[in-house]
Structure 1
């Protein structure tokens, strides 16, 4: 019988993480590096990521590579896939974490439904769903011939349910249709892909609840009041889920969605 220590050990394995410079991406990178995985970090061109790379190498003595890529651009995605295949003979973990979340001042995004634009809809779907299709399709051959291959898609609780609009009252925050729809599509793609590339590769998702990132106090307090665990999430709350799905701890698990939301969706 394998020990927990052996099942969770990622020594000799390589993980690719998109959106690696963001708060969640950094925690995922640190978690997998601590378990022994070498890393390929992906984020937008001109992203300042040297500090993160140096820290990971110094703390965990793993190999860390960075490949810049704007995942909204198909040409850049194709180049990314080619570069990954050139730089490594093994890819054990693919984490599709990067997402198009827009900003409150982006035209046609954080506005009433009647004013949301097809342009922002397409941009969200390009990054949140089409890019993931591309990366999975392009990198599956590499995953298939690697040990314990696992794909982890980062979805959202808003891919599971509609927004509670009272949370947003009096703020500039919103929840555009494209974000929820693309995350819902990602969850279905996770299930579809899991049944398609089994048994060689496992495919699962994580749906985070709201992460505390300086939102208006009124929003945070309303959100907390609806959350059984009495707080918003912090990035470190996702370490366990990533370690579990990325390692052999979850070797008999595919096509599933781990909801990490403090119990918000339990009501």
Structure 2
């Protein structure tokens, strides 16, 4: 019988993490690299991508590569798995962490529903749902070949439940329909692919709760009051869930959506 250490060991495997230079994405990259995986860091900002890839290689003594692209560029997206496999030797783990969260200059995002923009809706679905579909489809041959292929899609509590808009009263924050709809779609895509790609590839998702990142204190107080754990999440809270689903610790787990939300959706 294998030890826990053996089950969580990712030595010899390669992981591709979209949004890998972001807050949660970097935590995921660290968890994978610390467990021995080679890591391809995919994101839009070339400087942050290269800084992250370099840091991972130096800190964890693993091979890395940076991939700078816009997930709306379908031709570049579908070519990426082959490039990663060619450079790092395989593609065994795919983490779809990148998300459109309204940080672009597009309007009609964190505003009342009547003011939300169709163009911004389309942009969100393109990044949060269509790009993962295209990337998974392109990566499937390598993931099947791996024999231990694992896909982990990053959803959100708002892909599972509707928003309580009272949390946002008297703040500049909002909760757009496109975010929840795209994340809900990604969770259902997870279920679909878990049966379609079985038994060669496992497909699961993680739904983080709200992550503390300097939000309006009024929002934070309300959010924490509604969370059984009494606090917002940190990026570190997500690392164990990712390592579990990416490694052989979860070798008989597929089609599952793991809530990492401090109990937010439990009541």
**Scaled by the length of structure 1, what TM-score is found?**
0.96
Question: 1:108, CA displacement in angstroms?
Answer: 1.2
Equivalent residue pairs, number: 267
Determine the structure 2 residue equivalent to 1:27.
Answer: 27
Name the SS of the counterpart of 2:146 in structure 1. coil
Determine the structure 2 residue equivalent to 1:87.
Answer: 87
Do the aligned partners of 1:104 and 1:172 also contact (CA within 8 Å) in 2?
A: no
* CA 104–59 in structure 1, closer or farther in 2 if over 3 Å, else same: closer
Determine the structure 2 residue equivalent to 1:168.
Answer: 168
| Higher deviation after alignment, 42-51 or 207-216 | 42-51
After the TM superposition, which residues 177-216 of structure 1 pair with which residues of structure 2 at under 5 Å, given as runs?
177-216=177-216
Determine the structure 1 residue equivalent to 2:14.
Answer: 14
Name the SS of the counterpart of 1:252 in structure 2. coil
CA distance in 2 between counterparts of 1:141 and 1:61 reads 28
Name the SS of the counterpart of 2:15 in structure 1. strand
Q: Which runs of 4+ in 1 moved over 6 A?
A: none
- Residues 1:48 and 2:48 are matched in the alignment: yes
Determine the structure 1 residue equivalent to 2:229.
Answer: 229
CA distance in 2 between counterparts of 1:252 and 1:23 reads 29
Question: 1:86, CA displacement in angstroms?
Answer: 3.3
Determine the structure 1 residue equivalent to 2:118.
Answer: 118
CA distance in 2 between counterparts of 1:119 and 1:72 reads 13
Name the SS of the counterpart of 2:78 in structure 1. helix
Determine the structure 1 residue equivalent to 2:58.
Answer: 58
CA distance in 1 between counterparts of 2:49 and 2:197 reads 33
* CA 8–74 in structure 1, closer or farther in 2 if over 3 Å, else same: same
| Higher deviation after alignment, 8-17 or 52-61 | 52-61
CA distance in 2 between counterparts of 1:46 and 1:37 reads 22
Structure 2: give runs of 5+ residues left out of the alignment.
Answer: none
Determine the structure 1 residue equivalent to 2:98.
Answer: 98
Do the aligned partners of 1:109 and 1:120 also contact (CA within 8 Å) in 2?
A: yes
Name the SS of the counterpart of 2:233 in structure 1. coil
* CA 39–189 in structure 1, closer or farther in 2 if over 3 Å, else same: same
Question: 1:104, CA displacement in angstroms?
Answer: 8.9
Name the SS of the counterpart of 1:49 in structure 2. helix
CA distance in 1 between counterparts of 2:61 and 2:88 reads 18
Determine the structure 2 residue equivalent to 1:245.
Answer: 245
CA distance in 2 between counterparts of 1:81 and 1:92 reads 10
- The CA RMSD measured in Å over matched residues stands at 1.4
Q: Deviation digits for residues 52-95 of structure 1, max 9, x if unmatched?
A: 22321122110010111100221321332442343244111000
